[in-house]
Structure 1
Amino acid sequence: MTPEDVPAIEELLREVARREVMPRFHHIRATCKADGSLLTEADLAVHERLRTALADRYPAVGFLSEEMPADAQQARLDAGGPLWILDPLDGTSNFAAGIPFFGISLAYAEAGAVTAAFVLDPCRREFFHALAGGGAYCNHCRLAPPAAPAPFDQTLAMVDLKRLPPRLREALVAAPPYHSQRNFGACVLEWAWLAAGRGHLLLHGGQKLWDLAAGQLLLREAGGRCETLEGEEVFRPGLAPRSVVAALDGGHFERWRDWIRRRGREAREAG
């Protein structure tokens, strides 16, 4: 994947959003999948349009999407080789409820690492992208950490409480180290917004491969840092959910990670 590929990917995502996503916004009903998550016609339409277009343009690259059966997803991972990882519509619950916070996420992975990331916010017409070693961009303006980060106790954190360990969740509710907390309901845009400096911290107890593949590269290429609650790399080419601890500013990240680790030690000592 090279910089010359970026304009074609951008136009493809924008065109699919114009034709398959936005005409259905406010005019669609959702059904429930086996895992309880929502599914709409838009999810399936984006999946199919991008699957076909990417296969035509990049026939040697495999394709894995949230809307594939789990056994087909695993088969794609087992096959090895370069791979597209797609979340055709992250934030489906927002989309179905008429909340304008959802996005399309596409990552390109090879040799066990994501080397290109593309996220489109159809409502704000924002296209985020990153190539490994080339920086991160929003509508082609380069992203970077702020020169003067906010004091840690004045930060805003994007936290998904429901998937966290109970003791950590209780500590965050009782005495959070940040000033304010949000959860917007679309992981791919939360990653992109963090990379763009819209918020300071992020914590999630379990994101799927397609939730984090593009976002973690966007954040790292914007100068941010991330790891799991266990201190591991966030991206791993597998289907098991991965926790996320992240921040755009390095100092914020270290204080955030250390606060979480202290809460973990205290929970273990308390039995």
Structure 2
Amino acid sequence: MNLGTLTSLVRTAAREELLPRFTNVKCGIKADGSFLTEADLAVQNRIAEELKNHCPETLFLGEEMAAEEQQALLQSGKPIWILDPLDGTSNYASGIPVYSVSLALIEQGELKMGIVYDPERDECFSAVKGEGAWLNDERLGPIDTGLTLKQCTGLVDFKRLAPALATRLATEIPYSSQRSFGSVALDWCWIAIGRSHVYLHGKQNLWDYAAGHLILAEAGGWSCTLDGDDVFNNSLTPRSAVAALDRRLFKAWVEWLGIDRK
């Protein structure tokens, strides 16, 4: 399936299933304490069916599947779609217009294609490995802000960080200001276009970061884990994420965090 067809599929599903339910959605709590809405399931079921019709040979893994099924699918070694049908569910359920649909394609253990769609702003971020990244029809390219780390805006999720690191960030404050928006997929994309400059998250799942990670990489951004490894490792093990808009800022951010880059 080409990128144009795929983005159209995701846009249509999000606009028809998410927007009409926004501010008027039934919400429950999953076993891990996170939110689940009827919209999550509606988008997942719709996109899964569409992808099956277009690419019957490619497997499908959605966030709302059982963990055992997810693991078996990923270990099959076959091409697989990875979907987060509603990234930012708690925002969505609370009437906060910051949420997205995230879809990635993995082939032979590599990220090959990614789409993150924000229906509230009609912003569709996309990337194809080795070919670049786009926001709608505008190509994204490397950006050199000219800013120092102390002048930057940090996009930081404190909830999942070790207490010592969270305390250090709050007391030593390495950046000019800090934000946290509640959608991991959009976090990656907003770094890629310069809405924030450096990023830190302690624990995100494959369906949260897969598409956004590829988009940032293809836009010229940089990333690693808090252990200095590559963020994507083709597994369901949650990963930390450290990222920046350009190489110079990434180097300064990694040094401040004390990461030994591998």
- Residue 239 of structure 1, CA deviation: 1.6
Whole-Å Cα distance in 1 between the matches of residues 138 and 195 of structure 2? 15
CA contact (8 A) 1:32 1:38 kept: yes
The one of 93, 107, 111 equivalent to 1:110 is 107
Amino acid at match of 2:34: S
- Structure 1, unmatched stretches of 5+, are 265-271
Whole-Å Cα distance in 1 between the matches of residues 128 and 233 of structure 2? 18
TM-score (norm 1): 0.94
1:79 aligns to what SS in structure 2? coil
1:170 maps to 167
The one of 141, 146, 157 equivalent to 1:160 is 157
2:120 maps to 123
- Residue 177 of structure 1, CA deviation: 0.8
1:134 maps to 131
1:63 aligns to what SS in structure 2? strand
- Residue 176 of structure 1, CA deviation: 1.4
Residues 191-231 of structure 1, C-alpha deviation per residue, up to 9 Å, x if partnerless? 11111111101000000010110011000100000000111
2:48 maps to 51
Residues 104-147 of structure 1, C-alpha deviation per residue, up to 9 Å, x if partnerless? 00000011110100110000001110000111100120112334
Amino acid at match of 1:199: S
The one of 188, 191, 213 equivalent to 1:191 is 188
Verify: 1:99 aligned to 2:96, yes or no.
yes
The one of 245, 249, 255 equivalent to 1:248 is 245
Verify: 1:232 aligned to 2:206, yes or no.
no
2:58 maps to 61
Whole-Å Cα distance in 2 between the matches of residues 146 and 79 of structure 1? 38
- Structure showing the higher helix proportion among its residues: 1
1:142 aligns to what SS in structure 2? strand
2:18 aligns to what SS in structure 1? helix
Amino acid at match of 1:112: G
- Residue 151 of structure 1, CA deviation: 2.4
Whole-Å Cα distance in 1 between the matches of residues 158 and 197 of structure 2? 17
Whole-Å Cα distance in 2 between the matches of residues 255 and 127 of structure 1? 30
Verify: 1:203 aligned to 2:186, yes or no.
no
2:195 aligns to what SS in structure 1? coil
Q: Over aligned residue pairs, what C-alpha RMSD do you find?
A: 1.2
Amino acid at match of 1:230: D
Verify: 1:87 aligned to 2:84, yes or no.
yes
Whole-Å Cα distance in 1 between the matches of residues 19 and 83 of structure 2? 18
The one of 23, 26, 31 equivalent to 1:26 is 23
Whole-Å Cα distance in 2 between the matches of residues 193 and 72 of structure 1? 31
Whole-Å Cα distance in 2 between the matches of residues 225 and 19 of structure 1? 34
Whole-Å Cα distance in 2 between the matches of residues 216 and 140 of structure 1? 19
2:32 aligns to what SS in structure 1? coil
- Residue 162 of structure 1, CA deviation: 1.3
CA contact (8 A) 1:200 1:248 kept: yes
1:269 maps to none
Whole-Å Cα distance in 1 between the matches of residues 231 and 144 of structure 2? 26
1:246 aligns to what SS in structure 2? strand
